[in-house]
Amino acid sequence: MTHRLTITAVEPVTHNVKQFTFEKPAGYTFEPGQATEVGLDKDGFREDKHPFTFTALPGWTDLQFTIKLYPEHDGMTKQIGTLQKGDVFLIEDPWGTITYKGKGTFIAGGAGVTPFIAILRQLEKDGQLDGHRLIFANKTSSDIILRDEFSSMDGLETLYVLSEEEAEGCEKGRIDKAFLKAHVDDFAQNFYVCGPEKMVKDIKSALKDLGAEPDGVVFEE
Protein backbone atom coordinates (compact mmCIF):
# COMPACT_ATOMS: atom_id res chain seq x y z
CA MET A 1 0.00 0.00 0.00
CA THR A 2 1.32 3.44 -0.92
CA HIS A 3 1.18 6.26 1.65
CA ARG A 4 1.59 9.97 0.91
CA LEU A 5 3.76 11.79 3.44
CA THR A 6 3.87 15.58 3.48
CA ILE A 7 7.14 16.98 4.81
CA THR A 8 6.59 18.92 8.04
CA ALA A 9 10.25 19.76 8.72
CA VAL A 10 13.66 19.60 7.03
CA GLU A 11 16.81 19.93 9.14
CA PRO A 12 20.50 19.68 8.18
CA VAL A 13 22.47 16.98 10.00
CA THR A 14 25.85 17.28 8.23
CA HIS A 15 27.06 19.08 5.10
CA ASN A 16 25.42 16.40 2.94
CA VAL A 17 22.81 14.76 5.19
CA LYS A 18 19.32 16.04 5.96
CA GLN A 19 16.60 14.88 8.33
CA PHE A 20 13.04 14.81 6.95
CA THR A 21 10.04 14.65 9.28
CA PHE A 22 6.46 13.72 8.39
CA GLU A 23 3.18 13.12 10.18
CA LYS A 24 2.75 9.36 10.55
CA PRO A 25 -0.25 7.80 8.75
CA ALA A 26 -2.85 6.29 11.08
CA GLY A 27 -2.08 2.65 11.84
CA TYR A 28 1.37 2.68 10.22
CA THR A 29 3.77 0.52 12.24
CA PHE A 30 7.39 -0.59 11.89
CA GLU A 31 10.25 -2.00 13.97
CA PRO A 32 13.54 -0.17 14.71
CA GLY A 33 15.98 -1.02 11.92
CA GLN A 34 13.31 -1.44 9.24
CA ALA A 35 13.17 0.49 5.98
CA THR A 36 10.66 1.19 3.23
CA GLU A 37 10.66 1.95 -0.49
CA VAL A 38 10.45 5.70 -1.06
CA GLY A 39 9.38 7.61 -4.15
CA LEU A 40 8.71 11.30 -4.71
CA ASP A 41 5.47 12.89 -5.85
CA LYS A 42 7.22 14.34 -8.91
CA ASP A 43 7.19 13.33 -12.56
CA GLY A 44 9.83 10.69 -13.16
CA PHE A 45 10.24 9.79 -9.48
CA ARG A 46 6.90 8.25 -8.46
CA GLU A 47 7.91 4.76 -9.60
CA ASP A 48 11.68 5.19 -9.17
CA LYS A 49 11.65 4.08 -5.55
CA HIS A 50 14.72 3.73 -3.33
CA PRO A 51 15.03 2.14 0.15
CA PHE A 52 15.46 4.38 3.19
CA THR A 53 15.47 3.46 6.87
CA PHE A 54 13.14 4.95 9.46
CA THR A 55 15.11 6.88 12.06
CA ALA A 56 12.09 7.73 14.19
CA LEU A 57 10.92 5.39 16.93
CA PRO A 58 7.73 3.38 16.47
CA GLY A 59 6.11 5.20 19.39
CA TRP A 60 6.62 8.67 17.93
CA THR A 61 3.73 10.54 16.33
CA ASP A 62 6.01 11.44 13.40
CA LEU A 63 7.96 9.46 10.84
CA GLN A 64 11.52 10.47 10.07
CA PHE A 65 14.23 9.69 7.52
CA THR A 66 17.87 10.75 7.79
CA ILE A 67 19.18 10.78 4.22
CA LYS A 68 22.59 11.32 2.67
CA LEU A 69 22.33 13.50 -0.44
CA TYR A 70 24.34 13.24 -3.64
CA PRO A 71 23.83 16.52 -5.53
CA GLU A 72 26.46 15.49 -8.08
CA HIS A 73 24.28 12.50 -9.13
CA ASP A 74 21.42 13.23 -11.48
CA GLY A 75 18.93 11.08 -9.61
CA MET A 76 16.64 10.73 -6.64
CA THR A 77 19.04 11.78 -3.89
CA LYS A 78 19.77 14.99 -5.82
CA GLN A 79 16.03 15.65 -6.02
CA ILE A 80 15.53 14.92 -2.32
CA GLY A 81 18.09 17.59 -1.52
CA THR A 82 15.86 20.22 -3.13
CA LEU A 83 12.70 19.28 -1.19
CA GLN A 84 11.14 21.62 1.34
CA LYS A 85 8.34 21.64 3.87
CA GLY A 86 5.08 20.80 2.08
CA ASP A 87 6.62 18.51 -0.55
CA VAL A 88 5.49 14.87 -0.65
CA PHE A 89 7.19 11.49 -0.26
CA LEU A 90 5.49 8.25 -1.35
CA ILE A 91 6.27 5.26 0.87
CA GLU A 92 5.32 1.58 0.94
CA ASP A 93 4.97 -0.90 3.79
CA PRO A 94 8.02 -1.47 6.01
CA TRP A 95 10.61 -4.19 5.51
CA GLY A 96 14.18 -4.82 6.58
CA THR A 97 16.89 -7.27 7.50
CA ILE A 98 18.62 -5.37 10.31
CA THR A 99 16.93 -6.96 13.32
CA TYR A 100 18.17 -6.47 16.86
CA LYS A 101 19.20 -9.85 18.32
CA GLY A 102 20.82 -8.77 21.57
CA LYS A 103 23.79 -6.95 23.07
CA GLY A 104 26.76 -6.41 20.77
CA THR A 105 28.78 -4.11 18.52
CA PHE A 106 27.38 -2.00 15.69
CA ILE A 107 29.82 -1.39 12.81
CA ALA A 108 28.79 1.29 10.31
CA GLY A 109 30.26 3.02 7.31
CA GLY A 110 28.91 6.47 6.42
CA ALA A 111 25.16 6.46 5.76
CA GLY A 112 25.17 2.77 6.71
CA VAL A 113 24.62 3.97 10.26
CA THR A 114 20.99 4.87 9.50
CA PRO A 115 19.50 1.40 10.25
CA PHE A 116 21.16 1.60 13.68
CA ILE A 117 19.80 5.02 14.66
CA ALA A 118 16.32 3.87 15.68
CA ILE A 119 17.68 0.68 17.28
CA LEU A 120 20.09 2.66 19.47
CA ARG A 121 17.46 5.28 20.27
CA GLN A 122 15.05 2.55 21.35
CA LEU A 123 17.68 0.85 23.52
CA GLU A 124 18.46 4.20 25.15
CA LYS A 125 14.76 4.88 25.75
CA ASP A 126 14.40 1.44 27.35
CA GLY A 127 17.52 1.93 29.50
CA GLN A 128 19.27 -1.03 27.83
CA LEU A 129 22.27 0.57 26.10
CA ASP A 130 24.90 -0.59 28.62
CA GLY A 131 27.36 -2.97 26.98
CA HIS A 132 26.68 -1.85 23.41
CA ARG A 133 29.30 -0.29 21.16
CA LEU A 134 29.23 1.71 17.93
CA ILE A 135 32.27 1.64 15.63
CA PHE A 136 31.57 4.25 12.98
CA ALA A 137 33.77 4.79 9.90
CA ASN A 138 33.79 7.96 7.79
CA LYS A 139 36.19 9.87 5.56
CA THR A 140 36.38 13.03 7.71
CA SER A 141 34.96 14.28 11.00
CA SER A 142 32.50 16.51 9.13
CA ASP A 143 30.91 13.38 7.65
CA ILE A 144 29.95 11.83 11.01
CA ILE A 145 26.16 11.62 11.23
CA LEU A 146 24.62 12.48 14.65
CA ARG A 147 27.98 12.38 16.41
CA ASP A 148 26.81 14.49 19.35
CA GLU A 149 23.74 12.31 19.87
CA PHE A 150 25.66 9.03 19.75
CA SER A 151 28.40 10.35 22.05
CA SER A 152 25.83 11.47 24.63
CA MET A 153 23.85 8.22 24.69
CA ASP A 154 24.06 6.83 28.21
CA GLY A 155 25.75 3.44 28.15
CA LEU A 156 26.88 3.43 24.50
CA GLU A 157 30.61 3.19 23.82
CA THR A 158 31.59 5.00 20.61
CA LEU A 159 34.66 4.64 18.42
CA TYR A 160 34.92 6.95 15.40
CA VAL A 161 37.28 5.95 12.59
CA LEU A 162 38.41 8.37 9.86
CA SER A 163 40.14 7.28 6.65
CA GLU A 164 41.18 10.69 5.32
CA GLU A 165 41.76 12.88 8.36
CA GLU A 166 43.35 12.93 11.78
CA ALA A 167 41.02 14.48 14.35
CA GLU A 168 40.71 14.62 18.11
CA GLY A 169 38.60 11.82 19.54
CA CYS A 170 38.89 9.69 16.39
CA GLU A 171 41.05 6.81 15.20
CA LYS A 172 42.84 7.18 11.85
CA GLY A 173 42.53 4.25 9.48
CA ARG A 174 40.01 1.74 8.16
CA ILE A 175 37.96 -0.99 9.78
CA ASP A 176 39.73 -4.10 8.54
CA LYS A 177 40.82 -7.38 10.09
CA ALA A 178 43.84 -5.85 11.84
CA PHE A 179 41.73 -2.99 13.21
CA LEU A 180 39.06 -5.38 14.54
CA LYS A 181 41.69 -7.64 16.12
CA ALA A 182 43.20 -4.62 17.88
CA HIS A 183 39.93 -3.05 19.06
CA VAL A 184 37.54 -5.92 19.78
CA ASP A 185 38.10 -8.24 22.75
CA ASP A 186 35.14 -10.60 22.34
CA PHE A 187 34.22 -12.13 18.99
CA ALA A 188 31.48 -14.29 20.50
CA GLN A 189 29.17 -11.27 20.79
CA ASN A 190 26.61 -10.09 18.23
CA PHE A 191 27.81 -7.84 15.41
CA TYR A 192 25.60 -5.56 13.32
CA VAL A 193 27.24 -4.40 10.09
CA CYS A 194 25.99 -1.88 7.52
CA GLY A 195 27.77 0.31 4.99
CA PRO A 196 29.11 0.22 1.43
CA GLU A 197 28.87 -3.23 -0.14
CA LYS A 198 32.62 -3.91 -0.25
CA MET A 199 33.10 -2.75 3.34
CA VAL A 200 30.34 -5.07 4.56
CA LYS A 201 31.76 -8.00 2.59
CA ASP A 202 35.28 -7.41 3.93
CA ILE A 203 34.14 -6.98 7.54
CA LYS A 204 32.00 -10.13 7.41
CA SER A 205 35.01 -12.08 6.13
CA ALA A 206 37.29 -10.56 8.80
CA LEU A 207 34.83 -11.32 11.60
CA LYS A 208 34.55 -14.92 10.43
CA ASP A 209 38.35 -15.28 10.39
CA LEU A 210 38.52 -13.82 13.91
CA GLY A 211 36.03 -16.33 15.29
CA ALA A 212 32.65 -14.60 15.13
CA GLU A 213 29.69 -16.94 14.80
CA PRO A 214 27.84 -16.59 11.46
CA ASP A 215 24.50 -16.47 13.28
CA GLY A 216 25.79 -13.60 15.39
CA VAL A 217 26.57 -11.33 12.45
CA VAL A 218 23.59 -9.27 11.26
CA PHE A 219 23.85 -7.28 8.04
CA GLU A 220 21.56 -5.68 5.51
CA GLU A 221 20.87 -7.93 2.50
Res 73: pLDDT:
72
Res 125: pLDDT:
97
- On whether the CB atoms of residues 105 and 193 are closer than 8 A, the answer is no
CA gap 71, 88 in Å, rounded: 19
Q: How confident is the model at residue 96 (pLDDT cuts 50, 70, 90)?
A: confident
Res 37: pLDDT:
95
* Mean pLDDT value across residues 100-111: 96
Angle at 148 between CA 31 and CA 60, to 5 degrees: 30
Say how many C-beta atoms besides its own lie within 10 A of residue 8's C-beta: 14
Res 74: pLDDT:
75
- Domains of the chain by start residue, with CATH: 3-91 (2.40.30.10), 104-219 (3.40.50.80)
Res 149: pLDDT:
98
Between 89 and 44, the more confident residue is 89
Q: How confident is the model at residue 143 (pLDDT cuts 50, 70, 90)?
A: very high
Which tens digits make up the pLDDT trace of 149-169? 999 999 999 999 999 999 999
- Give this prediction's pTM: 0.95
To the nearest 10°, the Cα dihedral for 50, 68, 32, 138?
A: 130
Res 62: pLDDT:
97
- On whether the CB atoms of residues 46 and 40 are closer than 8 A, the answer is yes
* Mean pLDDT value across residues 18-41: 95
141: DSSP letter = G
Res 221: pLDDT:
61
